[in-house]
Chains A and B, each alone.
Chain A
Amino acid sequence: MGNRSFIFVLLALAVVGLLGFGMIANGSATIAVGEPTPDAEIERLGGEETASIADYRGQWVLVNFWASWCKPCELESPAIEEYSQAHNGDVVVLGVNTRDLTEDAEQFIADNGLTWEMLHDGDGSLSDSFGSVALPESFLVDPEGNLALIRRGPVDEAYLEQNVTPLIEANGGAGA
């Protein structure tokens, strides 16, 4: 192989490598039950303070990704609100408003009477680190900070009672 051919092959390999890297870098992260949850620090919705899921270690946390422009998020919100009040003390419901405008999100919260804690993931980085593909999505995090349940899609009262409650109760509720 001549010098020119060698350089050509090297260049072709570099281009293919770059394209491959681009494709991999663009792909969402994958996450599975039992793995530690991503705990990036992000802003609280409408506030200057920051928080992360790691701040809730020692408690069960139901992380719910949502946005004001997401209709299924609005449809599932009464069930989550009811669940958060019924299981107050056993589980912390933590909403993560994703790729949304703060004022639209605050309007959504007021319109739907939501009382659970909210973080603002404006650029969707936390949602991406959870491998989120659509909204809404919910993740149950155990007191050690590991994923206990993944729900890609909306939840309702029945789903929460049949899937979330048994996990919390089996492990002794809050701070097991």
Chain B
Amino acid sequence: MRRRPRTSTASLLTLLAALLLAVAPHAAAQVPGGSSDATLPDIEDEVMCPICGTLLGLSESPQANAERAFIQRRIVEGMSKQEIKDALVAEYGPEVLATPESSGFDLAAWIVPALGLLLGAMAVAIGARRWRREGRNSGGPGASAAPPPDPAAGDEARLEADLGRYNL
């Protein structure tokens, strides 16, 4: 009869532990300066070293190392990748971003190549259609496979004569 309270205490402790485990990740995410999903290599290839004029990941200059230290400090503070990129833009201006923004004038950098690709594909399609049509009309390489015409009777006789002349 005395075992019952012990079992209920154990159950309570188990429940408490389970609750703690379930809550712990959320609690950690809410702590300011907690862990960040951002990593230096992930950001390095998306931002520029403005002084070097190259991608940050490709530069080993002291200026680039200062920028890396800046990013590293923000990661330790728990900033997300986007927050770190925003902080870099606040320091160096939008030119620090290696990829253009997807809004405003920068949007053109995404639209123009896609438009170019579309126009190119349309030009290829139109060209191919025209080439096929011309080939069909002139019997060129684009023409559809039609049965070869029967050789004329005169041609056949001449071929026989030639073959006979060369003893083939």
> A residues within 8 Å of B by Cβ?
67-69, 99-104, 122-125
Inter-chain contact A123/B70, CB cutoff 8 Å? no
8 Å CB contact of A69 from B62, B91, B93 = B62
Fill in one digit per residue for B51-73: 1 if any A CB lies within 8 Å of its CB, else 0.
10000000000110011001000
- Apart from A101-B66, A123-B94, A123-B95, what 15 extra A-B contacts exist at CB < 8 Å? A67-B51, A69-B51, A69-B62, A69-B66, A99-B51, A99-B63, A101-B67, A101-B91, A102-B91, A122-B92, A122-B93, A123-B92, A123-B93, A124-B50, A125-B93
Chain B, interface size category, equals: 10 to 19
Interface of A is mostly: loop
Name B61's closest neighbour in chain A (CB-CB).
A69
How far apart are the CA atoms of A141 and B14 in the complex, in Å?
A: 75
How far apart are the CA atoms of A103 and B71 in the complex, in Å?
A: 12
How far apart are the CA atoms of A69 and B63 in the complex, in Å?
A: 6
8 Å CB contact of A101 from B70, B94, B95 = B70
State the Cβ distance, A94 to closest chain B Cβ, in Å: 20
Q: What residues of chain A lie closer than 8 Å to B94, measured between beta carbons? A: 123
The contact sample of 29 A-B pairs, CB cut-off 8 A, is: A67-B51, A68-B66, A69-B51, A69-B62, A69-B63, A69-B66, A99-B50, A99-B51, A99-B63, A99-B92, A100-B91, A101-B66, A101-B67, A101-B70, A101-B91, A102-B91, A103-B70, A104-B66, A104-B70, A122-B90, A122-B91, A122-B92, A122-B93, A123-B50, A123-B92, A123-B94, A123-B96, A124-B50, A125-B93
Q: What residues of chain B lie closer than 8 Å to A123, measured between beta carbons? A: 50, 92-96
Q: What residues of chain B lie closer than 8 Å to A122, measured between beta carbons? A: 90-93
Shortest 7 CB-CB distances between A and B: which pairs?
A123-B93, A69-B63, A122-B92, A122-B91, A99-B51, A101-B70, A101-B91
Name A125's closest neighbour in chain B (CB-CB).
B93
How far apart are the CA atoms of A69 and B50 in the complex, in Å?
A: 13
How far apart are the CA atoms of A69 and B70 in the complex, in Å?
A: 14
List CB contacts (< 8 Å) of B92-135 with chain A.
Answer: 92-96
Q: What residues of chain A lie closer than 8 Å to B95, measured between beta carbons? A: 123
List CB contacts (< 8 Å) of B65-89 with chain A.
Answer: 66-67, 70
Fill in one digit per residue for B31-49: 1 if any A CB lies within 8 Å of its CB, else 0.
0000000000000000000
How far apart are the CA atoms of A124 and B67 in the complex, in Å?
A: 16
Name A71's closest neighbour in chain B (CB-CB).
B62
Q: What residues of chain A lie closer than 8 Å to B51, measured between beta carbons? A: 67, 69, 99
How far apart are the CA atoms of A143 and B93 in the complex, in Å?
A: 30
